[in-house]
Amino acid sequence: MITKSTIDQVYETARLEEVIGDFVQLKKAGSNFKGLSPFSDERSPSFVVSPVKQIWKDFSSGKGGNVVAFLMEHEHFTYPEAIKYLAKKYNIEIEETEQSNEQKQAQDKRESLYLVSEFANNYFQNILHNTDQGKAIGLSYFKERGFTTETIKKFELGYSLDQWSAFTDAALKKGYNLDFLEATGLTIVKENKQFDRFKGRVMFPIQSMSGRVLGFGGRILTNDKKAAKYLNSPESDLYHKSKVLYGIYHAKQTIAKEDNCYLVEGYTDVIQFHQTGIKNVVSSSGTALTSDQIRLINRLTKNITVLFDGDAAGMRASLRGIDLILEQGMNVKVCTFPEGEDPDSFAKSNTLEELTAYLDQNAKDFIQFKASVLYESAKNDPIKKAETIRDIVNSIAKIPDRIKTEIYIQECARIMDISEEVLFSTLAQMTNKEQNDAAKQPQSPQAFEVIKNQPPVKKVDVQYTLERKIIEILLLYGNRKEDFEDLVLKEADNGQLELEPVIQEAKVFEKIYLDLQEDEMEFLNPQFKDIYFAIIEALNQNPEFKIESIINTIDPILASEITSILMEDERYSLSDWHRNNIFPKTKADTVSQLVSETILTLRCFLIDQKVSQFQKETLQDKNMINREILEEVKDYSGLKMLLSRKLNRAL
């Protein structure tokens, strides 16, 4: 187990915005950062990161927490994995206590698969660099491709021996379970026999955005026509090829920094570009581009430049991927290379300056590219030309932004020499068809339609809201000293009850605690109750109380609730008002008033509850008028009127 001192050091050192910035493109929004949710498909950013509080909240999915919670949600890490990841990122040495056999056996299947994949990755690298066959075949191949030793090691390239079970035997000898070797796809088991899937291939490890090995791609080097040239790991609990991009781990920071992602087809295209100096490049690993892969890029940038080789047939087949990118509301450019060249060969034969200049000069907007590719084969055939135009308009129809749609229609009209009116009419027909098709499906009731048997509108839970507000005040201002105007109930000369104001200085948490104790008020919500006592205890014990300290130690479910409470206001925080000479008051400016109003409102609510209870008791026994109850109702009603005056509003 990882020692507490190591965990504490990790929490003290790690910066939430830096860690999340490796996975999500964040933009400054006042004192916070905002970005697109990494947990759902959205176009308007609702993912908020607070550097001050060191917490995050995703309003589209409801998830939230601290830096470790993010890694556990996003990367599906266990708690120890997340701590180890952060320790590695910030160069913190991990101290561990010895695990018992029971604890080792308790490692879940997913972690076991990761361990097997990591062993395989190290094994293949060792074979490449330290065996005769690996150096003679695998290393020679990579050198012929022009890869330097530094690049080979950076991308952790390897080689699998051309023997039936060399890897499997080595893994079993090291104590790895055959079931996990089979589950990752590294070993094939048939009729009590086991052999290596990637026999005699150079190996490309496929990594997650955080750098963990998910699977492998292997290229055969012999001319065996029966064997596939490239072979990928099969689908597993770790590896889902439709959700993975090769090179994303090495490219993510540059993609966010350059605000652009180059998309290529093969492993060597990525590596060669990276070696030349262009690092914001990823590959779909030979599979058709998917929406999940596009969303992965969308977290880092809105701009994709798709790179094709000179093969016209391949380009036409890849045009379908462009429509998927457009549907995600992203900006697409396309760049092709001279005939006979691909991204790998072109990058290998050109300097960084030459490659950068070529990409800048030849990257076309998708509509220009699509028009040039399709128009070439249709320019002398009116029917084909009409189909080409319809194809282009169909792509434009995928774009959710209406301004972009209009600009692209104008551009298409210019390139294809056709009137804008015709194109807009065609676009409208396509849109109407989609709407009509959708209308055939069961829909929700339209405006002005009579709706029967609707469930009643859910009432606001006043006590829940007030309890939540008390938790928020304690978290934000619990340790602050404020002057509070206490109300002392006294009997006036005429015998009436009156509230007399008395100014007292106290810490916010002490004031709230004493008021709740005095009125014997208890939290009804069990989560709020647990959070309340945890905060009060922490504030009592530690004068230097920090929000992150309680989030890092409390139960994860309660920590998530705390995050939701703290980040609710951040979602709609105002910025740049001071620049316009508008200075709205913040909560921090009126803490004592906020505390007093919240407690008074809760008191009034509980008085109403008590009066309702008395009325119910009286109604249950209509034959008996309980004077004692009536007197209590009268007293409570009088107290509520006094509190109402103090709050300056009717209750």
Residue 446's contacts (CB-CB under 8 Å, 6 or more residues apart) are none
Q: Would the pLDDT of 100 be above 70?
A: no
Q: Would the pLDDT of 396 be above 80?
A: yes
For the chain, give the percent of residues with pLDDT over 70.
80
Integer Cα distance of 297 and 423 in angstroms: 31
- Give the 3-state DSSP-derived string for 15-57, with helices as H, strands as E and coil as C: CHHHHHHCCCCCEEECCEEEECCCCCCCCCCCEEEECCCCEEE
What Cα–Cα distance (Å) separates residue 303 from each residue in 353, 370, 444, 447, 449? Answer: 21, 17, 35, 38, 43
Closest by CA to 367, choosing from 420, 402, 404, 339, is 404
The pLDDT tens digits of the residues spanning 120-172 come to 999 999 999 999 999 999 999 999 999 999 999 999 999 999 999 999 999 99
Looking from the CA of 523 toward its CB, the CA atoms found within 13 Å total: 19
- The C-alpha angle 336, 329, 371, rounded to 5 degrees, equals 35
Q: Say which CATH number the domain at 183 has.
A: 3.90.980.10
Give the domain-ending residue among 238, 271, 294. 238
My answer on whether 234 and 180 are in the same domain is yes
Helical (H) or strand (E) element with 488 = strand 481-491
My answer on whether 432 and 471 are in the same domain is no
For the chain, give the percent of residues with pLDDT over 90.
38
Quote the domain boundaries for residue 85. Answer: 4-89
My answer on whether 258 and 312 are in the same domain is yes
Q: Say which CATH number the domain at 37 has.
A: 3.90.580.10
Q: How many domains does the chain have?
A: 4
My answer on whether 203 and 286 are in the same domain is no
Give the domain-ending residue among 35, 62, 89. 89
For residue 470, being part of any structural domain is answered with yes
For residue 580, being part of any structural domain is answered with no
Average pLDDT of the segment spanning 413-419: 87
My answer on whether 294 and 366 are in the same domain is yes
Does residue 503 sit in helix, strand or coil? strand
CB-based contacts of 465-470 (< 8 A; 24+ apart in sequence): 466/598, 466/601, 466/602, 466/605, 467/523, 467/524, 467/525, 467/528, 467/532, 467/602, 468/525, 468/528, 468/565, 469/598, 470/512, 470/528, 470/532, 470/598, 470/599, 470/602
- Which pLDDT does position 444 carry in this prediction? 45
- For residue 330, the 8-state DSSP code is -
- Which pLDDT does position 106 carry in this prediction? 46
**Least confident residue range of 8-17, 42-51, 511-520:** 511-520
- Let me know: does 412 contact 393? Beta carbons within 8 Å: yes
- Which pLDDT does position 617 carry in this prediction? 62
**Structure-token pair, residue 108:** 């879940």
At 203, phi and psi to the nearest 5? -115, 135
- 413 class by beta-carbon count within 10 Å (0-12 exposed, 13-18 middle, 19+ buried): middle
For residue 194, being part of any structural domain is answered with yes
The pLDDT tens digits of the residues spanning 10-37 come to 999 999 999 999 999 999 988 899 999 9
Cβ neighbour number for residue 463 with a 10 Å cutoff: 17
For residue 150, being part of any structural domain is answered with yes
- Which pLDDT does position 264 carry in this prediction? 94
What Cα–Cα distance (Å) separates residue 351 from each residue in 147, 172, 347, 356, 525? Answer: 14, 46, 7, 8, 65
Q: Would the pLDDT of 351 be above 60?
A: yes
Alpha helix stretches (DSSP H) within 397-523: 402-416, 420-439, 462-477, 508-518
- 332 class by beta-carbon count within 10 Å (0-12 exposed, 13-18 middle, 19+ buried): buried
Residue 261's contacts (CB-CB under 8 Å, 6 or more residues apart) are 251, 255, 280, 281, 282, 297, 300, 301, 303, 304, 305
Closest by CA to 118, choosing from 198, 238, 20, 3, is 238
Give the domain-ending residue among 89, 121, 155. 89
Q: Would the pLDDT of 446 be above 50?
A: no
Task: Tell me whether strands 261-264 and 303-308 are parallel, antiparallel or unpaired.
Answer: parallel
My answer on whether 137 and 225 are in the same domain is yes
- Which pLDDT does position 195 carry in this prediction? 95
- Which pLDDT does position 196 carry in this prediction? 97
More confident residue, 598 or 614: 598
- Which pLDDT does position 452 carry in this prediction? 44
My answer on whether 547 and 607 are in the same domain is yes
For residue 101, being part of any structural domain is answered with no
My answer on whether 371 and 286 are in the same domain is yes
Residue 605's contacts (CB-CB under 8 Å, 6 or more residues apart) are 462, 463, 466
Looking from the CA of 501 toward its CB, the CA atoms found within 13 Å total: 10
Q: What is the mean pLDDT of the chain?
A: 83
What Cα–Cα distance (Å) separates residue 434 from each residue in 320, 431, 570? Answer: 19, 5, 38
- Model confidence at 2, pLDDT cuts 50, 70, 90, reads confident
More confident residue, 503 or 345: 345
- Which pLDDT does position 401 carry in this prediction? 85
Does residue 336 sit in helix, strand or coil? strand
What Cα–Cα distance (Å) separates residue 132 from each residue in 136, 138, 140, 144, 151? Answer: 6, 10, 11, 17, 21
My answer on whether 221 and 349 are in the same domain is no
My answer on whether 338 and 434 are in the same domain is yes
- Which pLDDT does position 620 carry in this prediction? 58
- Which pLDDT does position 74 carry in this prediction? 86
For residue 40, being part of any structural domain is answered with yes
For residue 94, being part of any structural domain is answered with no
State the distance between the two ends of the chain, measured CA to CA, in whole angstroms: 56
My answer on whether 486 and 409 are in the same domain is no
Q: Would the pLDDT of 448 be above 50?
A: no
At 331, phi and psi to the nearest 5? -95, 130
My answer on whether 74 and 192 are in the same domain is no
The pLDDT tens digits of the residues spanning 61-97 come to 888 899 999 998 888 787 888 999 999 999 999 887 7
Q: Would the pLDDT of 449 be above 90?
A: no
Residue that is written with structure tokens 């014990």 in the block: 541
Q: Say which CATH number the domain at 337 has.
A: 3.40.1360.10
For residue 231, being part of any structural domain is answered with yes
